[in-house]
Amino acid sequence: MKPATSLSHTLKGHTIIRVAIAYKLLAERKLSKIFGTKFVRLLKAMLAMTHQGVQSSLLALVGFLLLCVVWHLISWFTKEELPGPVATLKVLTQMLSNPFYDNGPNDKGIAIQLWYSMIRVFTGFGIGTLIAIPLGILIGSQPIIKKILYPIVNVLKPVSPLAWFPIGLAAFKSAPNATIFIIYITSLWPTLINTAFGVASIPQDHKNVARAFGFSRYKYLTKILIPYTLPHIITGLRLSIGVAWLVIVAGEMLSGGTGIGFFVWDSWNALSLEKVISAILIIGIIGLLFDKLFTSLEKLFAYGK
């Protein structure tokens, strides 16, 4: 490090650098005069942020390039039994260039398959949420109910979604509905547990306010319990949607017919690993987007904590 500092020292002493710094200061002062100091400070902060953003995206790019190199090497060693990045990219662009075509039951565009999957994910996730939040509030606020229900939760939570599939089939006599059922029953738990935890951790101070000022049950629910628990609930929802998106692929592989899971299985049967890998990439990116969406919601509802 020493040579660098001494170098920058000599540079700072240099006339040209001095002039440049003087000009920079002058420009900043002029900008401050025109737009106000606050604006300039904001501009500087934004510049620093974009600088950081650019840096981390560049590093992420480096990571993906490394992955591509490894992928290419594996493909080369296996004599292209695993399709390489270039071949996959060709198929992926083909898939994305015509995503809405529909040539009958076994041949639909990727966007249509994704649409079917999304509907199932959000139906299952939605039903799960509608049950998980009230149940979580009940478990979190009533220790007796927690003692009764928590053992059941702990037994059912680790069960694989695939094990639920026959139960779904038996109950609904329809494979697509069984898929929705397994999404519902596996994505239920994170929301339920987080809601219960949030409600159970409401500070005594807040409860005392409600008691001292005689809040009605409804007022307590809407003005204290839900606002306090909301960040916990959203964290639960983020984890739940992640689970739902994991389960959908497995579910549709079993149920067949439509959806991204079926697409993966169908591509494998058609011996197109390029399509399978493309689907994996798409599934990953959509999962990431779900996560980002709920993360930003979490930030939105974190009151000055």
Partner 1 sequence: MENNLVLEMPSPTVKNGEWSMQIRNLKIAFDTPKGEFVAVKNINLNVKQGEIISIIGHSGCGKSTILNAIGGFIKPAKGEVLLSGQPVKGPGPDRGFVFQHYSLLPWFSVYKNIFEAVDSVLKKVSKEEKKQIVERYINAVGLASHKHKLPSEISGGMKQRVAIARAFAINPKYLLLDEPFGALDALTKSSMHIELLKLWNMDNRSKTILMVTHDIEEAIFLSDRIVVMTNGPAATIREIVEVNLQRPRNKKEIAHEPEYIRTRDHLISLLMDKVSILDYKK
Binding interface with partner 1 (CB under 8 A) = 205-206, 208-209, 211-216, 219, 223-224, 227-228, 303-305
Q: How far is the CB of 220 from partner 1 (least distance, A)?
A: 9
Quick one: 31 or 224, whose CB is closer to partner 1? 224
Kindly tell me which of 146 and 223 has the beta carbon lying closer to partner 1. 223
In angstroms and rounded to an integer, the radius of gyration of the C-alpha atoms of the chain is 27
Which is nearer to partner 1, 76 or 301 (by Cβ)?
Answer: 301
State the Cα–Cα distance between residues 220 and 229, nearest whole angstrom. Answer: 12
User: What is the rounded end-to-end Cα distance, in angstroms, of the chain?
Assistant: 39
Q: How far is the CB of 300 from partner 1 (least distance, A)?
A: 12
**Distance between CA atoms of residues 84 and 91, nearest Å:** 11
Closest to partner 1 by CB, 209 vs 246, is 209
> Minimum distance between the CB of residue 267 and partner 1, rounded to whole angstroms?
48
Q: Which is nearer to partner 1, 203 or 284 (CB)?
A: 203
Cβ closest to partner 1, residue 82 vs residue 224: 224
Q: Three-class SS of residue 204? A: helix
Residue 149 neighbours by CB distance under 10 Å: 16
Single-letter amino acid, residue 222: T
Shortest Cβ 230–partner 1 spacing (Å): 9
Q: What are phi and psi of 36, to 5 degrees?
A: 95, 150
CB 237 to partner 1: min, Å: 19
Cα separation values, 112 from 108, 202, 229, Å = 6, 44, 37
**Minimum distance of partner 1 from residue 219's CB (angstroms):** 6
64-95 CB burial, b ≥16 within 10 A, e <16:
eeeeeeebeeebeeeeeebbbbeebbebbeeb
Question: Which lies closer to partner 1 via its Cβ, residue 288 or residue 300?
Answer: 300
**How many angstroms separate the CA atoms of 271 and 275, rounded?**
9
Tell me the closest approach of the beta carbon of residue 228 to partner 1, in angstroms. 8
